[in-house]
Structure 1
Amino acid sequence: MENNTRTLLLFDVDGTLTASRQIIKDDMADFMVQINKKVCCGLVGGSDLEKITEQMGGKEALHKLDYVFAENGLAAYKKGETIAIMSLIKKMGEEKLQELINYALGYLANLKLPAKRGTFVEFRNGMINFCPVGRSCSQEERNVFGKLDQEENIRGNMVKCLREKFSADGWVFSIGGQISIDAYPDGWDKRYCLQYVEKDFDTIHFFGDKVEKGGNDHEIYSDPRTIGHKVVSPEDTKKQVSELLGMN
């Protein structure tokens, strides 16, 4: 592929450019700089801007990218400048928020896990993040929960209950990252960011790891406006992008 300003590569963060909740490795950061010279690049993650900034190695690294879409694009930035900010409170209202949070806290309280730490509910500008093990868990505790979740479908079972009770209120639930569940209004998944770029590019490639139905990359991966690429690790991302851009 020749240098092309009409092509955009969009990347998930966790599991795609970095290990889950880890800082990007130097070789991957250098790779992103290289490919951004060939095509326009952007990030779309469920986390807020602060967490994405930390994972990507600081503000300077982010500002080198053309687009950063935090919280699925509800906080949108181009070359470091704010495009738009949306508010979950204004969209759903306090009553619906508290009904969901109270139910989820009750559900989490009844789970028996190898470890429970702090921050089980994280309120973000565009979503609520529920975490059975607690977001302040250590990396070791995170890995133990991740393995148990794969074996016992802890998050999948919780998502099923949440959908049965709250989908009629306009909530959507998806499994995100290694340890958590995202809750957001219908239509506020990662496709939300496409409104800011779909008219400026002829081709949009999306790279993500949670692309199966129920994963938080599924909707944008399968959207007709994108060409979806399933990856299994940052190394796989690098391999697939290199093949796409003819860098091998």
Structure 2
Amino acid sequence: MADIYLFDVDGTLTPAKSKINPFFQQTFLSWMQDKEVYIVSGGSFTRLLDQLGIEIMNHTSGVFACMANTFYQKRDQINPICANEWNLIYENKFVPPKNLTRSLRSYVSKSDYHTKTGNHYENRTGMINFSIVGRNATAAQREQYAVYDSEKKERERIAGKLKEKYSDLDFVIGGAVSMDIFYKGNDKSQVVKRYFNEALKNNRLHFVGDRIAKNGNDYALAKVLRRRKNGFAYEVETWEDTAALLKTPPFA
């Protein structure tokens, strides 16, 4: 029985919305060499490419981006060094319900948080990413909001209210400052039914993420895997935790 490894990115392989640590980049690349590895992230494919670098991306067996609403594989699955072109295997479309963006703007204007940098929601394939502090925030501003949110639970409160208003959608906490919005079922767990269902019968599937707790954007996939005999999920808080995890079974 073989092992297949799935990794989230923000808070798992990299600091949130930042590039991978250069030392860990080489460590992870070396670890990947003889393994079947997939990326499962809320970020877009182009952002993941910027965060992880072309070498890591080329050594994956596939990349599930935008909460697994898009799936990419290399055209050349045999030789990573030649794998600079990618095929889009599938994508889900997202048509926002009427008044959703108006609701999001309203929560931004009503928030008591003192810093709002603009660019508060981003349309991605199959989803929307929403942030009170805004995507233009600096790393320091993001850290400040993360501290505020950990105390006030603002994202959790907003997500709860939006779920009541838009029953067809899911609103889950993603990264350090944002939430991901998508149609129910179009979360990271869809990788199992769309791609790994047969593989789980004869392989062990290991998923590493930082938002495995309920209401996190890794929760759905972790929940589905833990219900399967050969599925496993591991929660980390930082890329340093992941680096340590790679030194232990079944990763080492």
Q: Verify same fold: TM over 0.5.
A: yes
Is contact 2:29-2:55 (8 Å) kept?
no
Compute the displacement of 1:245 (Å).
4.0
RMSD over aligned CA atoms reads 1.6
Of the structure 1 ranges 113-122 and 75-84, higher mean CA displacement relative to structure 2 is found in: 75-84
1:228 matched to 2:228? The reply is no
Asked if the contact 2:42/2:66 (under 8 Å) is kept, the reply is yes
- Whether the 8 Å CA contact 1:8–1:41 is kept in 2: the answer is yes
Distance 2:195 2:100 in 1: 30
- Which one of the candidate residues 155, 159, 171 is aligned to 1:173? 171
Shift of 1:103: 1.2
Q: Which residue of the partner structure matches residue 217 of structure 1?
A: 218
Residue 186 of structure 1 aligns to which amino acid in structure 2? K
Alignment partner, residue 206 of structure 2 = 205
User: Do structure 1's residue 137 and structure 2's residue 137 form an aligned pair?
Assistant: yes
Deviation at 1:84, TM superposition (A): 1.2
Q: Would you say the 8 A contact 1:130–1:182 is kept in 2?
A: yes
The separation in 1 between residues aligned to 2:183 and 2:119, in whole angstroms, is 22
Does the 8 A contact of 1:114 with 1:145 survive in 2?
no
With the length of structure 1 as denominator, give the TM-score of the two structures: 0.89
Q: Which residue of 2 aligns with 1:75?
A: 70
Counterpart mapping for 1:89-108 below 5 A: 89=95, 96=97, 98-108=98-108
* Residues in 2 aligned to 1:60 and 1:32: alpha-carbon distance in whole angstroms: 10
Give, in angstroms, the shift of residue 66 of structure 1.
Answer: 1.0
Write out aligned runs for 1:181-200 (5 A).
181-194=179-192, 195-200=194-199
Task: Report the TM-score, using the length of structure 2 for normalisation.
Answer: 0.88
Contact 2:33–2:59 (8 Å) recurs in 1: no
Matched, 1:8 2:13: no
The letter of the residue matching 2:157 is N
* Separation (CA, whole Å) in 1 of partners of 2:198 and 2:62: 14
Q: Could you tell me whether the CA contact under 8 Å between 1:115 and 1:133 is conserved in 2?
A: yes
Q: Alignment length, in residue pairs?
A: 234
Structure 1 segments unaligned to the other structure (5+ residues) = none
- Bigger CA drift: 211-220 or 235-244? 235-244
CA deviations on 1:35-86 (whole Å, 9 max, x unpaired) are 22232001100011111111112x3431111111101221101233321122
Would you say the 8 A contact 2:39–2:62 is kept in 1? yes
Q: Percent sequence identity over matched residues?
A: 28
Unaligned runs of 5+ in 2: 75-85
Corresponding position: 1:85 with 2:112: no
Structure (1 or 2) with the greater helix fraction: 1
Runs of 4+ in 1 over 6 A off after TM superposition: none
Separation in 1, partners of 2:172, 2:251: 34
Return closer, same or farther for 1:246/1:19 CA change in 2, 3 Å cut-off: closer
Matches of 2:122 and 2:251, distance apart in 1: 41
Write the distance in 2 (CA, Å) between the matches of 1:185 and 1:132: 21
1:22 aligns with 2:15: no
